[in-house]
Amino acid sequence: MRNGQTVAALRGDRAGPARAVGSHHDEPGPSAGVSHSFRTRQSDDACDVIRTFGTIVQAPPGPLRFHDDDALRCVHPNPPPNCARGKVVAYSQNAQKCDVACFQVGDCHATARLAACCNGTAAAAADFAALTNAPRVAMQVKLPGRHVVRVDARIRRAAGSTTAVVGQCWNHVPFSISAESEVDGRRYAVCAGPFNHYLIIQTRLGEFAADFRVDAALEVWQRFGLVDEPLLSRIGVVEPGAAAAPAVRFFTCGDRAHPSAPLSGLAVAAAVAHRLQWRFLLDATRVRTAAGTMPLPRLKALSDGAMCVQFPDVIVDFPALPTPAERV
């Protein structure tokens, strides 16, 4: 423990939990590293709200070599309730850029997968900026499907504070809809790509997003074949009406009802609305979640089908942030 935070030293001997499916072991693991906790919230949340909780890992300089089994060793064993959990974010300084990889760890702490986590990249940007004393950070973010996306972040932090406000622009993110259908009054769009594997559902007339339950999500999961990648699979349920702030509900990792809404999911939902002309979502600036309203990301569609995404500010806090002298 350090300053009340869990600290994990990573070694290159690869000992520890069983290797997760999908790990790459043709490269050596990190020779050393230091980890501590991070938590995030939205700019209009109360100070005690936690949207995402996880572990941030500073890896040695150079190309980032951090894999699934490294994430298993670093996941926090006791996350707080009612927040997105099982997140491990690793970063390294690679020349003038920051290499970043975010991992989703299952509740059993036996499997982990590289995933897209916009709150996690905000934490990496804030931690890296604290080391370099830089207000802007250029990141190379590794994503599912062997994608690497450039993310430009700006960081604002009061002197002596462990809290940072991070704005992010994700550049040239590939996006496609692999399947679209309408069944029993619901509309479905399947999007498997760098922002994880999403099934976006537009509810039928008279159906409420808040009434969509885990058992219904699991049935849809099976129908669209998302059970093969549970740690990457997400469902977003969007409810037409109330153009100023339509209701949404998200499910992650097979059987988790998300306590609010993942930023990646809001970006995918907005991209689906743009591609399929779902006017009720196109005209909206905010959505209603179980944890209150959230702003939608701003999208710019590119001629090749990719998109640039400007995410709303994320507030990142590092309780008892280690000093540079304590890092290795």
Q: Give the largest CA-CA distance in the chain.
A: 61
C-beta separation of 65 from 10 below 8 A: no
**Which phi and psi angles does 5 have, rounded to 5°?**
-110, 150
CATH superfamily of 34-174+313-326: Diaminopimelate Epimerase; Chain A, domain 1 (3.10.310.10)
Q: How crowded is residue 293: how many other Cβ atoms within 10 Å of its Cβ?
A: 16
d(CA 82, CA 35): 23
Q: How crowded is residue 17: how many other Cβ atoms within 10 Å of its Cβ?
A: 15
- In this prediction, residue 327 has a pLDDT band, given cuts at 50, 70 and 90, of very low
Assign residue 57 a region: left if phi > 0, alpha if psi is -120 to 50, beta otherwise?
Answer: beta
Tell me: the pLDDT tens digits for 132-166? 999 999 999 999 999 999 999 999 998 778 899 99
- In this prediction, residue 125 has a pLDDT band, given cuts at 50, 70 and 90, of very high
Asked if the model's pLDDT at residue 65 lies above 80, the reply is yes
- In this prediction, residue 242 has a pLDDT band, given cuts at 50, 70 and 90, of low
pLDDT of residue 324: 39
pLDDT of residue 255: 75
**pTM of the predicted model as reported, rounded to 2 decimal places:** 0.86
pLDDT of residue 319: 74
pLDDT of residue 33: 67
> What one-character-per-residue DSSP string does 92-135 give?
EEETTEEEEEEEEE-TTSS-EEEE--HHHHHHHHHHHHHHHT-S
pLDDT of residue 294: 93
CATH of domain 179-301: 3.10.310.10
| Amino acid in the structure at residue 122 | A
pLDDT of residue 124: 98
Residue 70: strand, helix, or coil:
helix
Average pLDDT, stretch 276-282? 92
Tell me: the pLDDT tens digits for 194-220? 999 999 999 998 899 999 988 888 888
Query: How would you class 285 by CB atoms within 10 Å of its CB: exposed for 0-12, middle for 13-18, buried for 19 or more?
Result: exposed
Question: Considering only 28-37, 57-66, 249-258, which range has the smallest mean pLDDT?
Answer: 28-37
Average pLDDT, stretch 58-64? 95
List all residues 6 or more positions away from 173 whose beta carbon is below 8 Å from its beta carbon: 149, 193, 194, 195, 267, 306, 307, 308, 309
pLDDT of residue 29: 43
d(CA 229, CA 256): 14
d(CA 79, CA 53): 7
Question: Across all residues in the chain, what is the average pLDDT?
Answer: 85
pLDDT of residue 216: 87
d(CA 55, CA 71): 9
- Of the two residues 326 and 128, the one the predictor is more confident about is 128
- CA 109, 89, 21: angle at the middle one, nearest 5? 45
Q: Where in the chain is the domain with CATH 3.10.310.10?
A: 34-174+313-326, 179-301
pLDDT of residue 114: 97
Residue (of 34, 160, 120) closest to 316 by Cα position: 120
pLDDT of residue 96: 85
